[in-house]
Copies of this chain bind each other. A is one copy, B any other.
Amino acid sequence: MTTDLHDLTRKLKRENDSKIVLYVADGLGGLPPKPGEKTELETANTPNLDAAARRGTLGLSTPVVPGITPGSGPGHLGLFGYDPLQYNIGRGVLEALGIDFELGPNDVAVRGNFCTVDAEGNITDRRAGRIASEIGVKLCEKLDKIEIPGVEVFVRPVKEYRLVIVFRGEGLGGEIDDTDPQKTGVPPLAPQARDEASKATAEVISQFMQQAAEILKDDQPANLLTMRGIAKKPDIPTYEEVYGLKAAAIAVYPMYRGLARLVGMNVLDAGATLDDQMDRLEAAWNDYDFFFVHYKYTDSTGEDGNFEAKVARTEAFDAAVPRINALNPEVFVVTGDHSTPSKLRSHSWHPVPVLLAADTCRFDGSEGFGEAQCLAGGLGQFEAKHLMMLALAHAGRLEKYGA
């Protein structure tokens, strides 16, 4: 017997004046370099998070299911309370979010790769010699002029050989196989629709590719492109609808801004530093119920394999906490969307430290915020998708279930 958690929250949500802050250090969880040593978070000097841990409750969250390493999309969906196995974000959509492209309900988003083809049309280089980003920008400007009747076409550069294409039009399905054959010596594949509604999209893509071949024919080595992750924005209910929350996101990187927008958060502009983000938080405090504040550098230093830098970034993340405390949110949640142990130089499946501080917490004896303390914490180990309901409960925003 399974339940969509949002069937519960829709029914039980209750409005009040409480504020919830979800303070996310991307890739927060780590690993000790060797058995018996400390993780990055345990090594970092985090007096403010430790104080919050003493008055709150700790736990460990599993982003998807045990053993599964999430990308940023599923990682954040889980944090936002959406089952990451139920809601699937296509790569094209994520790539569009990553360049701050605002997708609408009639948009089909595609991740494109410039490639090189020979005189017979067979791919000789799947990444077009990794052309410089400036070249990619110019090629995208040319492709952006493609016109297809009844459809708006947007072509935007991402980086080097990577680009985003968006087809906007009524009745375009998003179920199309990749045209990237994943090997050289063959031409790009023809677009294949997986359902009836996507046949029109396949036709649009064919027309686009014909024109693109003509436009790019002299642009060696980027004389064609392939497509991957062709998809529409998933149909995700909003924070307002499922939780009754007016929510704001304060995130610097486009992908996280886009993910927040997907669930109906208002994305607020802010400068690039944590101090800028805190300024924005203070300025917006009276206008929203819920704030998602995203900090990227605990993840990027982990991906760099730089233990010390991740420790330092964790300390910077901690140093901003007093400004949140000063606003006195009813519920203060600190966690990550997944672990990024510097030892592994990548996202991982390891459970993620969680701290929830509120006046309604049951004391669990935690002395500070770290993986070992979280393992013994009062929230236990739980799937990330349950975190939002705990936050709502501590905010007094959920009615009793049943009489």
Contact = CB atoms under 8 A, between A and B. Distances in A.
Interface in A43-94: 54-55, 60, 64-75, 83-86, 88-89, 91, 94
A119 interface: no
**Residue with the highest number of chain B CB atoms closer than 10 Å, among A75, A86, A380:** A380
Name the interface size band of chain A. 35 or more
A222 B204 CA distance: 68
Given A60-B380, A344-B360, A378-B375, A66 B389 contact: yes
Nearest to A89: B402
Contacts of A66: 379, 382, 386, 389-390
Interface in A354-379: 360-365, 371-372, 375-376, 378-379
A115 to B, nearest CB: 20
A80 to B, nearest CB: 14
A21 to B, nearest CB: 17
Contacts of A69: 393, 398-401
B94 A403 contact: yes
Nearest to A5: B65
A8 interface: yes
Contacts of A375: 364, 376, 378, 380
B67 A398 contact: yes
Contacts of A393: 67-69, 348-349
A68 B11 CA distance: 12
A88 B91 CA distance: 37
B362 A400 contact: no
Contacts of A91: 403
**Residue with the highest number of chain B CB atoms closer than 10 Å, among A39, A348, A388:** A348
Contacts of A70: 400-402
A69 B4 CA distance: 17
A71 B381 contact: no
A2 interface: yes
B363 A32 contact: yes
A363 B37 contact: yes
Nearest to A360: B344
A31 B360 contact: yes
A336 B392 CA distance: 23
Contacts of A363: 32, 35-37, 372
A398 B71 CA distance: 13
Nearest to A68: B401
B402 A362 contact: no
Contact of A68 (B39, B55, B398): B398
A328 to B, nearest CB: 16
27 contacts: A1-B2, A1-B83, A3-B65, A3-B85, A31-B360, A31-B362, A32-B362, A32-B363, A36-B363, A65-B389, A66-B386, A67-B386, A67-B388, A67-B389, A67-B393, A70-B401, A70-B402, A72-B403, A74-B401, A88-B402, A91-B403, A229-B403, A346-B400, A348-B360, A351-B380, A365-B372, A375-B380
Given A35-B361, A346-B400, A348-B360, 4 more contacts: A66-B382, A70-B402, A71-B401, A73-B402
Closest 8 pairs between A and B when the two form their complex, measured CB to CB: A67-B389, A71-B402, A67-B393, A380-B381, A74-B402, A66-B386, A1-B86, A67-B390
Interface of A: 1-5, 8, 12, 31-32, 35-37, 39, 54-55, 60, 64-75, 83-86, 88-89, 91, 94-95, 229, 343-344, 346-351, 360-365, 371-372, 375-376, 378-382, 386, 388-393, 398-403
